[in-house]
Amino acid sequence: MDNIMNLPRRIGKGTVLLTVSFSVLVASICYGASCETYAVDPVHSSLVFRIKHLGIAFFYGRFNDPEGTVTIDPENPENNSVSISVQTGHINTFNPERDSHLKSPDFFDAEKFPALSFNGNGFKLLGKNTYEVRGDLTFHGVTRPIIVIVEHTGSGNDPWGGYRTGFETTFKIRRSDFGMKYMMDGIDDTVRVTLSVEAVRQLP
């Protein structure tokens, strides 16, 4: 789903403004008899970000090797849950000097805050393969509630005897809401994040 909808949302005081086009997630506690647990495949999952530099052009980077667990209850989607995390030290902008600066206290402070994560379990079915998901986004030592729109992108058998499912999301946050305020005059406050997850079903 491309740009499924634009939803400026606030949840309580001082929370995160999001514009979401999401197709991705689900994971940890599920009580239904039909629940299935999936492990995120870090090799075939992507976490990409976009931010404007000097108010002129958008710059792209990524975080390698996202991890997590997705739990899906096909009969009761409200039981779905998700837990996704990535190491901030795994940032990759294809420039070692810039990557080193981004890991420093000026930006992600990877030594002090080694991971960023999303945990969601408030699933609401909106339409075919589309969900509204409530959860918490944590990075740079700050946790904020967010609402995102999720689309299930597909499921099927793989060539190795396993069964996989996929999701993808795009959402926007303000980095200043998470205490990252370095170089606000040259690097935009708004960051667009795209997360595409492929996960492998785990045997009981």
Instruction: Classify residue 204: in a domain, yes or no.
Output: no
User: pLDDT category, 9, cuts 50, 70, 90?
Assistant: very low
For residue 106, the domain's CATH number is: 2.40.128.110
Tell me how long the chain is: 204
Instruction: Classify residue 134: in a domain, yes or no.
Output: yes
Per-residue pLDDT, averaged over 105-121, amounts to: 95
pLDDT at 142: 97
The per-residue DSSP string of 17-36 comes to ----EE-----S---STT-E
pLDDT at 30: 58
42 neighbors 65 (Cβ within 8 angstroms)? yes
Q: How far is the C-alpha of 185 from the C-alpha of 54, rounded, in Å?
A: 8
The better pLDDT of the pair 9, 83 is held by: 83
91 neighbors 61 (Cβ within 8 angstroms)? yes
Instruction: Classify residue 188: in a domain, yes or no.
Output: yes
Instruction: Classify residue 73: in a domain, yes or no.
Output: yes
Per-residue pLDDT, averaged over 65-85, amounts to: 91
Tell which residue, 134, 153, 165, 199, has the closest CA to residue 2. Answer: 153
Q: Which two tokens stand for residue 162?
A: 């396993």
Instruction: List pLDDT tens digits, range 166-195.
Output: 999 889 999 999 999 999 999 999 999 999
The better pLDDT of the pair 130, 116 is held by: 116
User: pLDDT category, 89, cuts 50, 70, 90?
Assistant: very high
Instruction: Classify residue 6: in a domain, yes or no.
Output: no
What total number of domains does the chain contain?
Answer: 1
**Burial tier of 101 (Cβ tally within 10 Å: 0-12, 13-18, 19+):** middle
Instruction: Classify residue 139: in a domain, yes or no.
Output: yes
Mean pLDDT of the chain: 85
196 neighbors 83 (Cβ within 8 angstroms)? no
Per-residue pLDDT, averaged over 114-137, amounts to: 90
pLDDT at 17: 34
Per-residue pLDDT, averaged over 142-160, amounts to: 93
**Burial tier of 31 (Cβ tally within 10 Å: 0-12, 13-18, 19+):** exposed
Which structural domain range is residue 66 located in?
A: 21-199
The pTM score is 0.81
Q: How far is the C-alpha of 176 from the C-alpha of 180, rounded, in Å?
A: 5
pLDDT at 14: 35
Instruction: Classify residue 7: in a domain, yes or no.
Output: no
Helix locations, the chain, DSSP H: 96-103
Whether residue 16 has pLDDT greater than 70: no
Instruction: List pLDDT tens digits, range 19-50.
Output: 333 333 433 455 556 789 999 999 999 999 99
Whether residue 7 has pLDDT greater than 70: no
Tell which residue, 28, 23, 154, has the closest CA to residue 85. Answer: 28
Instruction: Classify residue 9: in a domain, yes or no.
Output: no
